[in-house]
Structure 1
């Protein structure tokens, strides 16, 4: 075609017919009479593959163009360490093992053995100490009384508690509360190991 010449609709249809007739001849010669089952204007498998490749490449380019803050990358890789929290936990552990702190802390549990016979008191005391160990308690109070109502002998339960504490491996340092309100000599606190 020469520049400035225009094709009319008849010329276009003639070219289309020529193209189709050549195409049909080629198919007949090759022995294939293919019928397309695809929808009109639907992309072929090759076109879909090319489009997917382009999308993948475009996504790769977009990902590569993203700039990551070096600090953000470091934090993602190594995480953070809360030094204040670690120091606080260490302080609590040290405080719990510090003898002076344990002696001055208030008892976390108490048992009252008043009015019990020696066998009953021993059994309850043993169960109480076992339970406190399981619960992770550090300091307990054992109320045994001063023996005011005991006739003719020394206070029975006070002596029983003292011997129990000396023999039991779960019991550590012990003593009497300083004030009468806390029990005085009628009670004994024990730090559990």
Structure 2
């Protein structure tokens, strides 16, 4: 039964110590109830010493087992780290790549926003230019209309000038005819005066 304590798991160290102490108490109580109290007490003391020694051995064994299991656990951890090293490296590489892609995605997002703002500015400039061209076309149409009106007025003025010139020529002709008639009349009067005087 006592050697069964040596095979208890490390987590049951407190339980094994408790069981040893309980066993010591039961043996002591059993021998104290015997008739030969002195011999029983000396036997109890010897038994207790043996049990204490056994308890120390159990504790030492448990410590060794704990150290051994700790070393085994450390070896297992190192082995797992060695086996997982490539996976960890790949994960780190993937995380690095993911971070780079996230940074590039953010950069592309910023560039997209800049391009969208530029496009909006260009659209606004295009609208402003279209409005300016519309206003200029309106002004040009107004100028063409005024030019057409001026051409009509110029044409009418030319006709009037031609009429005035024709009238001027006719008036000159009439004046010449009147001068000729007036001159003939004056000569007639002169002839009449000359005849009267003679």
- TM-score higher than 0.5: no
Higher-helix-fraction structure:
2
With normalisation by structure 1, the TM-score equals 0.26
User: Computing the radius of gyration over CA atoms, which structure comes out larger, 1 or 2?
Assistant: 2
Q: Which has the higher strand share?
A: 1
